Structure 1
Amino acid sequence: MQTITQQSVAYIEENLLQPITLETVAIEMGYSKYHFHRTFVREVGMSATEYIKHRRLVLAAHQLLYTEERIIDIALNSYFESQEAFTRAFKKYYSLPPGKYRSLFVQKKGDEPMTNSEIKGWFLSGSHPHLYKLTADQEVVHYGSQSVRLESKEALGEECFATIMQQFKAKQFIGKRMKFTGFVKTEQVEQSCGLWMRVDGTSQDILQFDNMHNRPITGTTEWNYYTIILDIPDDSSIISIGLLLSGKGRVWVDHLSFEEVDDNTPSTNMDPEAELASEPMNLSFEEV
């Protein structure tokens, strides 16, 4: 079941080229403008108005690089009142005016897509990492100028999975509740994918873990917002975070964040004991 934030992000993504505002999204979600604004800012870290503006700028950057649309038309289609207003916003976001951005980065016809397999700070792991490909993608982007794409290379067995991940020391996060979030887009994911986070103790035992197994992303989906929230116990040693893809498919991830939240924010820790019954049941096999 999607959260209100995920529902609103999905609605925004579907209607970016429509005249939507904070008010129209709030009404669509069935909330007052003020309650929806507070909820969205608390979850995403920016207002819905800022989110819409940033996403339209990313789409505009894509049009500059991959179409021959005039800048004035791109500006108006992105709901800026003038080319001058669009140029100011674009330059603030990309540090270049749109015309300069197009002349510097536009691809010539027949060029290969702009990609880069080196992702600083991240590495590819999993059961069969050699059957997957990791790429920095500058064409399919949610925020900024590039995302990361993880995809299967060929037919895979059901047991195959890969992850893009990184690990770091837990010391500075001890005693805190941490939220790992990001935007994910998928294409033909046959089994599942999702963000994941694990907290290991000093004895190398798993103290906290969530891989979205109880809320997997499958099939083909547009960009949406996903969250993992775990506590960092006193005996924590290492924190691992990443994106997991099981089986065949293609998945993009962008705009990740890792930040502290208060204790009122529910943890998503997948406690294996929580799934166990407290006593045996239906020993006679008569219950249905």
Structure 2
Amino acid sequence: MTMSLSAIISSGVGGIAVALITYLTTRPRTRAEARKLEAEAERTKAETAKLLAESATQLTSEVDSTDLPKGWHVTGGQPEDYSYGLDNQVHQSGTASAFIRARPNPRKFGSLIQSFHADDYTGKRVRLSAMIRTKDVTQYAAIWLRVDAQGRSIAFENTQSESRKLSGTRGWTRSEIVLDVPPEGEKILLGAFLSGNGCIWIDSFTFEVVGDDVPLTEEPAQESSTQPVNLGFTKGLN
């Protein structure tokens, strides 16, 4: 049986209407979900920073120190869920790299860390960089840098944000942090960490003083508005 022209047109218009309604109703939801994911990412970053701040002074004894690169220690949210060591086969320069590899069903994250007195760097701008290679990383790999004074963190940054984190399987990739060391800084801590399944290799760490012309890498926090905005809905979409 053939359909009449009016039926075909009616059917087409109906399909377009359904598609339009679906688009209009799902678009806000997609934006809301995106904002939710961003909020969750920021919350995870804040939790990681807090755990690093708390655990960096509580170096774990559950990892055999003979497996660790000289001068490095282990910390993290659940450091025993990861293994650490040197890899003489995989390296970006020199003769070896350090690795962090997840054990089955890892919780939170594991980190390699070292610390030193801040005397030579107080009041200066410094840059920490490293080359990182990843394999099957399900969450993220990142480097971090912290300055302590009187037993608490007074400056901190990591590369865990959505635009800077490393995940999946990637070849050698450079990560860096540029941070100002406060004049009252007493100790500097730095390292790399892995969260989730997979393995990372870290090589070619550098730590250096740079000039004020080198921009800071910290991503500015979103400031809360002090006044209501767009009350007349005339400024378009976000």
Taking the aligned partners of 1:267 and 1:131, their CA distance within structure 2 comes to 33
The aligned runs of 1:86-235 (5 Å cut-off) are: 117-157=67-107, 160-202=108-150, 204=152, 206-214=153-161, 215-235=164-184
Q: Secondary structure at the match of 2:80?
A: helix
% identical equivalent positions: 30
1:275 aligns with 2:222: yes
For residue 166 of structure 1, report the CA deviation from its aligned partner.
Answer: 0.7
In structure 2, what is the equivalent of residue 262 of structure 1? 211
Q: 1:235 to 1:117 in 2, by over 3 A?
A: same
Taking the aligned partners of 1:130 and 1:233, their CA distance within structure 2 comes to 33
In structure 1, what is the equivalent of residue 47 of structure 2? none
- List runs of 5+ in structure 1 lacking aligned partners: 1-115
CA contact (8 A) 2:159 2:175 kept: no
Q: What CA RMSD, in Å, does the superposition of the two structures yield over aligned residues?
A: 2.1
CA contact (8 A) 1:136 1:148 kept: yes
Higher RCO (C-alpha under 8 Å, 6+ residues apart): 2
For residue 149 of structure 1, report the CA deviation from its aligned partner.
Answer: 0.8
**Bigger helix fraction:** 1
Q: 1:132 to 1:281 in 2, by over 3 A?
A: farther
Q: Secondary structure at the match of 1:173?
A: coil
Taking the aligned partners of 1:139 and 1:233, their CA distance within structure 2 comes to 39
Q: 1:134 to 1:280 in 2, by over 3 A?
A: farther
Q: Could you give the per-residue CA deviations for residues 58-83 of structure 1, whole angstroms, max 9, x where no partner exists?
A: xxxxxxxxxxxxxxxxxxxxxxxxxx
Taking the aligned partners of 1:280 and 1:161, their CA distance within structure 2 comes to 39
Taking the aligned partners of 2:76 and 2:229, their CA distance within structure 1 comes to 39
Q: How many corresponding residue pairs?
A: 168
Instruction: Return the index of the structure with the highest Cα Rg.
Output: 2
Q: Which amino acid aligns with 1:164?
A: L
For residue 270 of structure 1, report the CA deviation from its aligned partner.
Answer: 4.8
Q: 1:176 to 1:134 in 2, by over 3 A?
A: same
Taking the aligned partners of 2:210 and 2:158, their CA distance within structure 1 comes to 19
Q: Could you give the per-residue CA deviations for residues 159-182 of structure 1, whole angstroms, max 9, x where no partner exists?
A: x11110111111111111111111
Taking the aligned partners of 1:227 and 1:131, their CA distance within structure 2 comes to 26
Q: Secondary structure at the match of 2:120?
A: helix
Q: Which amino acid aligns with 1:230?
A: L
- Normalising by the residue count of structure 2, what TM-score does the alignment of the two structures yield? 0.65
Taking the aligned partners of 1:125 and 1:176, their CA distance within structure 2 comes to 27
For residue 282 of structure 1, report the CA deviation from its aligned partner.
Answer: 6.3
For residue 283 of structure 1, report the CA deviation from its aligned partner.
Answer: 9.9
CA contact (8 A) 1:209 1:270 kept: no
For residue 278 of structure 1, report the CA deviation from its aligned partner.
Answer: 3.5
- Normalising by the residue count of structure 1, what TM-score does the alignment of the two structures yield? 0.54
Q: Could you give the per-residue CA deviations for residues 195-233 of structure 1, whole angstroms, max 9, x where no partner exists?
A: 1111123362x3222111221111110012111111111
Runs of 4+ aligned residues of structure 1 deviating over 3 Å after TM superposition are 280-284
Q: Which amino acid aligns with 1:249?
A: G
Q: Secondary structure at the match of 2:146?
A: strand
In the alignment, which of 188, 191, 208 is matched to residue 242 of structure 1? 191
Q: 1:249 to 1:170 in 2, by over 3 A?
A: same
Q: Which amino acid aligns with 1:185?
A: R
- List runs of 5+ in structure 2 lacking aligned partners: 1-65
Taking the aligned partners of 1:261 and 1:175, their CA distance within structure 2 comes to 12
For residue 280 of structure 1, report the CA deviation from its aligned partner.
Answer: 5.6
CA contact (8 A) 1:208 1:269 kept: no
For residue 155 of structure 1, report the CA deviation from its aligned partner.
Answer: 1.3
Q: Secondary structure at the match of 2:186?
A: strand
**Bigger strand fraction:** 2
For residue 153 of structure 1, report the CA deviation from its aligned partner.
Answer: 0.8
